[in-house]
Amino acid sequence: MPLHHAVLALLAVKPAHGYELRGSFEQAVGDQWGGMNIGHLYQILDRLARDGLIESERQPQPVKPDRLVHRITAAGRAELDRWLSEPSVRTHGYRDDFFLKVMAAAQAGDHAMVTAVLRRQRAHLLTELRSLAAAKATAARSPVETLLVTAAELHVRADLGVVDAAERDLTADALGTLRIPASAAEAAPGERPRSA
């Protein structure tokens, strides 16, 4: 749960209330991550409190409603240290919407459809690279934000590598091998197709 741990990291620096935490998070990561939904943040804070990783203190304000200031607990620091000491492990498998589109087009056996899917994805990724170059120019004020833009750029370049591999490997001949003969498709699992 990286957002939970990011909140713990911010609270390890200093106690804060919800809107202050949201501002600190958005300032730390910049525009590339996207804004943090305040409702989601409050859900995270509730869970961290329930798990004993933070404690909250109600502070009265003269004009506004009371605010809840959160601080990390010893258990929260231990959890943050544990998380920081472990490598980030990807979930099993490669789950990606683009890959599913390529699979669907390839299963249709239509090389023109596969080519169109790949061409659209390449154009999108190149546009994304251009916008990341512009973002990198404005992110130069923060080394963490610059690193996030660089990471996004590397991911886009890796996705372009997947498009390159698909263009190389999913030839019309290769797609022909994916087609299941009608007689084999009609056979029940485990049965051999009947001969005429």
Last residue of a domain, one of 54, 85, 116: 85
Last residue of a domain, one of 85, 114, 137: 85
Q: Which of 139, 121, 108, 161 is nearest to 32 (CA)?
A: 139
pLDDT tens-digit profile of 24-78?
Answer: 888 877 666 777 888 999 999 999 999 999 999 998 888 888 889 999 999 999 9
Are residues 96 and 137 in contact, defined by beta-carbon separation less than 8 angstroms?
no
Same domain, 64 and 112: no
Residue reference for tokens 């995270």: 44
3-state DSSP call for residue 69? strand
pLDDT tens-digit profile of 95-113?
Answer: 677 888 888 888 777 888 8
Q: Which of 47, 45, 46, 62 is nearest to 10 (CA)?
A: 45
Indicate whether this model's pTM tops 0.75.
Answer: no
Q: How many domains does the chain have?
A: 2
Mean pLDDT of 161-182: 80
The reply to whether 191 falls in a domain is no
Q: What is the extent of the structural domain holding 38?
A: 2-85
Angstrom CA distances, 139 to 9, 10, 23, 151, stand at 22, 20, 17, 13
Region of poorest pLDDT, from 21-25, 86-90, 127-131, 155-159: 86-90
